[in-house]
Amino acid sequence: MRRRLIQSTLAVVLVVIAVFGVSLVIVETRTISNTAQERVDTEAVRLASIVDSRLLGAETVDAEALREQIQGDRYAEIRIPGKPLIEVGTKPTGDVISAKERGEEGETVLVQEPRSSVTREVGRTLLIIAAVALLAVIAAVLLAVRQANRLASPLTDLAETAERLGSGDPRPRHKRYGVPELDRVADVLDSSAERIARMLTAERRLAADASHQLRTPLTALSMRLEEITLTDDPDTVKEEATIALTQVERLTDVVERLLTNSRDPRTGSAVSFDLDEVIQQQLAEWRPAYRSVGRAIVSSGKRHLRAVGTPGAVAQVLAALIENSLMHGGGTVALRTRVTGNQAVIEVTDEGPGVPPDLGARIFERTISGRNSTGIGLAVARDLAEADGGRLEMLQVKPPVFGLFLSRTPLQKPESDEEPTVR
């Protein structure tokens, strides 16, 4: 591209120089020739006047007296009636410029000048024009190189940026070139890079969330299927199959929820539901895992509380908190329901060492974990809670207490029957 720009610019300059240069040479040649002829004519008139004045004053008219009146390499002939021919200067050979003038006393004056003087002057003019043309060509080449670099380098950068986008590197360059059209292309590429980066981030986040959130339902489903393979009792098989189908429905709900959140984190299908059902479901699913490690999971607090939200999302949040207590906590895990203002609160606590002091409020950030885990569970749980209009907070560091706050709906049963006992 640089070569084409330079060649095209140089071609335009050469055409302009050729057109205007030839015209200028013709005009200057004619002007110099006309000027030389006018000089000779003027010289002939002047010399005739001098001869007239000498004749009228009865002065001597000869070559010696007129020699000082002839300038340069001009030649003059004066013919006076009744007198010999008077020659002043050296008679030129070859092509000459001549002028003849008749005086008032009947004399004739002929002035000649070699045309070589005109040729020399034309040559000097041509040299000046050629030098100016050469300077114009050099300036045009330098300007073309500068302009070509100014246009070609940004295009090369933009091509490299587009290639990087195509190879999966969506980092915007935020580089501008001072050319409006090229800056517009750079703006579009940077905007595309930012959109691609957001899309890749969303896809990676969806993959990480899916792998984390699907792990628990799949583990529970695997446990139920193992129970079916280890028993020959039809009633047990039927019961475990029914529970397995429930797990499959939960798994489907988790997938749909993840896909919905990936498109729009604020899109939900909030309904009024019974918190007891969700809590009992989680207790039933997690008790085998806690029994296997010699620990217990219990619930207490107000019963028959109804909240506004998505049951599947609330179940996922509780599952994340329960799993977090299983992995990082200790002793008995307790789920306690209570009411504060117009909100229903589910508190999840255990008897473990609590959250390390260096984590603090960062516990809900992605990739933040107190041990060798993904650090995704609590972050996903908070996102799910906020998507339903609720919130998830860490109420106490030691022992750890996490609170899930949900909006309440009018109760269908009295709230006074609090059950502090394990259920």
Positive/negative CA dihedral, 21, 22, 28, 32: positive
Asked if the structure places residue 156 within a domain, the reply is no
pLDDT above 90 (res 292): no
> How many residues comprise the chain?
423
Task: Record the pTM.
Answer: 0.46
Number of structural domains found in the chain: 4
pLDDT band at 423 (very low <50, low <70, confident <90, very high): very low
Quickly list DSSP for 212-225.
HHTHHHHHHHHHHH
> Are residues 234 and 328 located together in one domain of the fold?
no
pLDDT in the model for residue 299: 92
Asked if the structure places residue 165 within a domain, the reply is no
pLDDT in the model for residue 157: 79
> Are residues 361 and 331 located together in one domain of the fold?
yes
Rounded to whole angstroms, how far apart are CA atoms 362 and 370? 11
Asked if the structure places residue 149 within a domain, the reply is no
Rounded to whole angstroms, how far apart are CA atoms 284 and 423? 11
Asked if the structure places residue 146 within a domain, the reply is no
Positive/negative CA dihedral, 226, 227, 231, 235: negative
Percent of the chain with pLDDT over 90: 10
CB atoms within 10 A of CB 223: 17
> Are residues 198 and 93 located together in one domain of the fold?
no
pLDDT above 90 (res 337): yes
pLDDT tens digit sequence for 258-287:
666 554 444 455 788 899 999 998 888 888
pLDDT in the model for residue 422: 44
pLDDT above 50 (res 416): no
* Residue 228 burial (C-beta neighbours within 10 Å; 0-12, 13-18, 19+): middle
> Are residues 412 and 276 located together in one domain of the fold?
yes
Query: Which of 244, 263, 282 corresponds to the end of one domain?
Result: 263
> Are residues 258 and 269 located together in one domain of the fold?
no
> Are residues 14 and 86 located together in one domain of the fold?
yes
pLDDT above 60 (res 21): yes
pLDDT tens digit sequence for 226-257:
777 877 778 777 877 777 777 677 677 666 66
Query: Which of 263, 285, 301 corresponds to the end of one domain?
Result: 263
> Are residues 255 and 277 located together in one domain of the fold?
no
pLDDT in the model for residue 398: 85
pLDDT in the model for residue 209: 60
> Are residues 53 and 102 located together in one domain of the fold?
yes
pLDDT band at 214 (very low <50, low <70, confident <90, very high): low
> Are residues 365 and 229 located together in one domain of the fold?
no
Residue 199 DSSP SS3 = helix
Tokens of 352: 């473990």
pLDDT in the model for residue 421: 42
CB atoms within 10 A of CB 78: 23
Residue 11 · residue 4 · CB < 8 Å? no
Tokens of 222: 């695997």
Rounded to whole angstroms, how far apart are CA atoms 217 and 244? 10
Per the listing, tokens 């583990």 go with 219
Asked if the structure places residue 152 within a domain, the reply is no
pLDDT in the model for residue 202: 64
Domain harbouring 344, CATH code: 3.30.565.10
pLDDT tens digit sequence for 68-109:
777 777 888 888 887 888 888 888 888 888 888 888 878 888
pLDDT above 50 (res 3): yes
Asked if the structure places residue 308 within a domain, the reply is yes
Asked if the structure places residue 193 within a domain, the reply is yes
> Are residues 342 and 404 located together in one domain of the fold?
yes
> Are residues 383 and 257 located together in one domain of the fold?
no
Asked if the structure places residue 153 within a domain, the reply is no
pLDDT tens digit sequence for 375-410:
567 887 888 888 778 889 988 888 889 999 999 865
Of 305, 277, 310, 306, which is closest to residue 387 (Cα–Cα)?
A: 310
Range of the domain at 413: 264-423
pLDDT in the model for residue 415: 47
> Are residues 312 and 283 located together in one domain of the fold?
yes
Domain harbouring 38, CATH code: 3.30.450.250
User: Of 129 and 359, which is predicted with more confidence?
Assistant: 129
pLDDT band at 204 (very low <50, low <70, confident <90, very high): low
